[in-house]
Amino acid sequence: MDYEEAKEKIVAGLTKKKSKSKFYFNDLAKILDLKPRVAKKLINQMVTEEVLEYWSSGSTSLYGLKGAGKQAHAEHED
Amino acid sequence: MAKHETPLLDQLESGPWPSFVSDLKQEAESRAKNEKGIEYQIPVDVCEDLLGVLELSFKHGRTHWKHGGIVGVFGYGGGVIGRYCDQPQMFPGVAHFHTMRVNQPAGKFYTTEYLRNICDLWDLRGSGITNMHGSTGDIILLGTTTPQLEEIFFELTHTYNQDLGGSGSNLRTPSDCVGQARCEWACYDTQAICHDLTVEYQDELHRPAFPYKFKFKFDGCPNCCVASIARADISFVGTWRDDIKIDQEAVAAYVGGELPSNGGSHAGRDWGPFDIQKEVIDLCPTECMWLEDGKLMIDNRECTRCMHCINVMPRALRIGDDRGCSMLVGAKAPILDGAQMGSLLVPFIKVEEPYDEIKEVIESIWDYWMEEGKNRERLGELMKRQGFQKLLEMTNIKAVPQHVQEPRHNPYIFWKEDEVEGGFQRDVNEFRKHHQR
Ligand code: HEM
Ligand code: HEM
Ligand code: SF4
Ligand code: SF4
**Residue from B185, B193, B228 to probe ligand 3 pocket by mutation (most atoms less than 8 Å from CB):** B185
CB B189 within 8 A of CB B212: no
By residue range, what is the domain housing residue A38?
3-74
Ligand 4 pocket residue status of B382, Cβ below 6 Å = no
Categorize the per-residue pLDDT at B185 as very low, low, confident or very high, splitting at 50, 70 and 90.
very high
Mean pLDDT in residue range B404-414 = 75
SS3 B323: strand
CA-nearest residue, atom 4 of ligand 3: B220
pLDDT band at residue A71 under the 50/70/90 scheme: low
The predicted structure's pLDDT at residue A76: 45
Number of domains in chain A: 1
Best CA proximity match to B187, nearest among B222, B233, B217, B216: B222
- The per-residue pLDDT for range B233-242, each reduced to its tens digit, is 999 999 999 9
Q: What is the mean pLDDT of residues B359-372?
A: 96
pLDDT, tens digit (0-9, with 9 covering 90-100), for B191-212? 999 999 999 999 999 999 999 9
pLDDT of residue A70: 59
pLDDT score of B317: 98
Domains delineated in chain B: 7-159 (3.30.70.2500), 175-240+325-417 (3.30.413.10), 245-318 (3.30.70.20)
DSSP string, B215-235: -EEEESSTT-TT-HHHH-SEE
3-state secondary structure of B132: strand
Q: What is the pLDDT of residue A69?
A: 65
Alpha helices in chain A (DSSP H): 3-16, 25-32, 36-48, 70-75
Tens of pLDDT along B256-287?
999 999 999 988 888 889 999 999 999 999 99
pLDDT at B69: 77
Sign of CA dihedral B366, B369, B374, B380: negative
Across the interface, do A56 and B84 touch by the CB < 8 Å criterion?
no
pLDDT greater than 90 at residue B252 = yes
Cα separation of B79 and B94, whole Å?
A: 19
**ipTM attached to this prediction:** 0.84
The Cα–Cα gap between B244 and B286 comes to 14
Q: Distance between CA atoms of B211 and B382, rounded to whole angstroms?
A: 11
* pLDDT value of position B171: 96
Give the number of beta-carbon pairs within 8 Å between A and B.
86
How high is the pLDDT of residue B62? 95
Return the ligand 4 atom nearest residue B308 CA. Answer: 7
Give me the pLDDT at residue B67, please: 80
Beta bridge partners of A64: A53
- Cα Rg, chain B, nearest whole Å: 27
**For all residues of chain B together, what is the average pLDDT?**
94
Q: What is the mean pLDDT of residues B39-44?
A: 97
Q: What is the rounded average pLDDT of the residues B177-188?
A: 97
pLDDT at residue B423 greater than cutoff 90: no
**Could you give the CA distance from residue A73 to residue B10 in angstroms, rounded to a whole number?**
37
Give me the pLDDT at residue B338, please: 81
Looking up residue A37, the CATH number of its domain turns out to be: 1.10.10.10
Cα B159 to ligand 1 centroid, rounded to whole Å: 72
CA–centroid distance, B176 to ligand 4, in Å, is 24
Which has the higher per-residue pLDDT, B186 or A58? B186
**Count of CA atoms in the C-beta half-sphere (13 A) of A9:** 17
User: Residue B137: which of B75, B190, B180 has the closest Cα?
Assistant: B190
DSSP-derived pairing of the beta strands B129-132 and B139-142? antiparallel
pLDDT, tens digit, for every residue of A44-69? Answer: 999 999 999 998 888 889 999 988 76
When comparing pLDDT for B390 and B410, which is higher? B390
The whole-number pLDDT of residue B408 equals 76
Res. A19: pLDDT tops 90: no
Quick one: pLDDT band at residue B333, thresholds 50, 70, 90?
confident
Distant-in-sequence, close-in-space partners of B420: CB < 8 Å, separation ≥ 6: none
Q: What is the dihedral of CA B199, B205, B206, B212, to 10 degrees?
A: 170
Residue pLDDT, tens place only, B103-159: 999 999 999 999 999 999 999 999 999 999 988 899 999 999 999 999 999 999 999
Q: Work out whether strand B245-246 and strand B289-292 pair parallel, antiparallel, or are unpaired.
A: unpaired
Does residue B1 surpass a pLDDT of 70? no
- Cα distances from B102 to residues B71, B96, B180, in angstroms, run 16, 19, 24
Chain B residues touching residue A47 (CB < 8 angstroms)? 75, 77, 207
* Tens of pLDDT, residues B70-83: 778 988 999 999 99
